């Protein structure tokens, strides 16, 4: 199966039929090589997994060429004249760049570097960060998911203190993948927990799903709100209430 693919793509890029993967010098599409590494390491590569560790230097550029070429095939199959129509001449390249370098970047690049400071003053008061703007896309239709989230951290003396901006950077990295909201908040909670090791962690996310507004059921107003409560936020209803009461009223903003 693979052999057939390899021999059929030994062409110059300009000679390639639309929609065919851009091969490397040995004729193997770079996505195939990356997938083989992931499979050999028994690593999952779901839409919302980060695969940066399996991409070698220079391969992201090759992946861009490959996605462009496949995207051109999609445009051809949609019967869009990308030669005569001046608006779509570079659309395949633009979409490839948008996926790999922008909206799904959180799959392909390593996580942001986070400076951790010791909790020298033994702070143990509630910290709330938010609203952090969420930009993602649903795994089902690749339609935008736009919203906000709030993070509550109850530190203890062993908790590492991280810079305020880093919560937004971590959120951007997690949300920059095709996601479903329920899994996105759990991934973010796991990451913040691992970075800060707090006594408690709370996340509330509210988002509009364009797959419900732009298409499908065409409901423009409904939003999804979900939360993750861990540690003391789970055990202490007063703390949970305090956190929820300090979050500005959602949806009205």
Ligand X SMILES: Nc1nc2c(ncn2[C@@H]2O[C@H](COP(=O)(O)OP(=O)(O)OP(=O)(O)O)[C@@H](O)[C@H]2O)c(=O)[nH]1
C-alpha–C-alpha distance, residues 8 and 169, integer Å: 42
Interacting stretch for ligand X, rule CB under 6 A, among 55-63, 71-79, 176-184, 185-193?
176-184
Q: Could you say whether residue 219 binds ligand X (CB under 6 A)?
A: no
Nearer to ligand X, 69 or 181 (CB): 181
Q: Name the token pair of 108.
A: 């392909």
Task: Tell me how far, at minimum, the Cβ of 142 lies from ligand X, in Å.
Answer: 10
Q: Name the token pair of 215.
A: 């298409």
Task: Tell me how far, at minimum, the Cβ of 184 lies from ligand X, in Å.
Answer: 7
Nearer to ligand X, 76 or 183 (CB): 183
Task: Tell me how far, at minimum, the Cβ of 181 lies from ligand X, in Å.
Answer: 4
Nearer to ligand X, 175 or 212 (CB): 212
Nearer to ligand X, 181 or 196 (CB): 181
Nearer to ligand X, 64 or 188 (CB): 188
Strands 127-138 and 178-179: parallel
Task: Tell me how far, at minimum, the Cβ of 215 lies from ligand X, in Å.
Answer: 7
Q: Could you say whether residue 149 binds ligand X (CB under 6 A)?
A: no
Count CA atoms within 13 Å of residue 130 on its CB side.
Answer: 25
Strands 144-154 and 200-209: antiparallel
User: Pick from 236, 165, 160, 151: which is nearest to 201 by CA?
Assistant: 151
Q: Could you say whether residue 134 binds ligand X (CB under 6 A)?
A: no
Burial of 87 (0-12, 13-18, 19+ CB in 10 A): exposed
Q: Could you say whether residue 164 binds ligand X (CB under 6 A)?
A: no
Q: Could you say whether residue 222 binds ligand X (CB under 6 A)?
A: no
Contacting residue, 13, 43, 122, 140, with ligand X by CB under 6 A:
140
Nearer to ligand X, 107 or 240 (CB): 107
Q: Site size for ligand X, by CB under 6 A?
A: 10
Contacting residue, 16, 96, 138, 154, with ligand X by CB under 6 A:
138
17's CB contacts (< 8 A; 6+ apart) are none
Nearer to ligand X, 224 or 234 (CB): 224
179 contacts 136 by C-beta, under 8 angstroms: yes
C-alpha–C-alpha distance, residues 191 and 185, integer Å: 10
Q: Could you say whether residue 182 binds ligand X (CB under 6 A)?
A: yes
Strands (E) across the chain are located at 116-117, 127-138, 144-154, 161-162, 178-179, 200-209, 224-231
Question: For residue 234, what are the CA distances in angstroms to 40, 201, 203, 248?
Answer: 39, 9, 12, 21
Q: Could you say whether residue 214 binds ligand X (CB under 6 A)?
A: no
Residues that bind ligand X (CB under 6 A): 138, 140, 180-182, 209, 211-212, 216-217
């Amino acid at each position: 199966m693979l052999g057939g693919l390899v021999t059929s793509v030994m062409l110059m890029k300009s000679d390639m039929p639309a929609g065919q993967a851009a091969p490397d010098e040995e004729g193997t599409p770079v996505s195939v090589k990356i997938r083989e590494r992931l499979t050999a390491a028994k690593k999952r590569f779901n839409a919302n997994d980060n695969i940066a560790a399996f991409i070698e230097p220079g391969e992201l550029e090759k992946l861009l060429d490959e996605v462009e070429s496949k995207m051109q095939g999609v445009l051809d199959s949609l019967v869009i004249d990308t030669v005569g129509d001046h608006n779509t001449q570079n659309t395949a390249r633009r979409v490839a760049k948008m996926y790999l370098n922008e909206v799904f970047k959180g799959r392909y690049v390593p996580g942001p570097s986070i400076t951790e400071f010791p909790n020298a003053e033994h702070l143990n008061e509630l910290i709330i960060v938010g609203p952090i703007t969420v930009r993602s896309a649903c795994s089902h239709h690749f339609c935008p998911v736009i919203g906000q989230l709030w993070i509550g951290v109850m530190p203890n003396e062993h908790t590492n203190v991280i810079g305020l901006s880093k919560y937004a950077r971590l959120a951007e990295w997690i949300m920059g993948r095709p996601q479903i909201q329920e899994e996105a908040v759990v991934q973010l909670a796991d990451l913040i927990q691992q970075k800060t090791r707090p006594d408690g962690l709370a996340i509330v996310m509210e988002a509009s799903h364009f797959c419900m507004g732009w298409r499908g059921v065409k409901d423009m107003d409904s939003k999804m709100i979900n939360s993750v409560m861990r540690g003391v936020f789970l055990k202490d209803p007063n703390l949970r209430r305090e956190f929820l009461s300090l979050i500005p009223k959602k949806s009205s903003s």
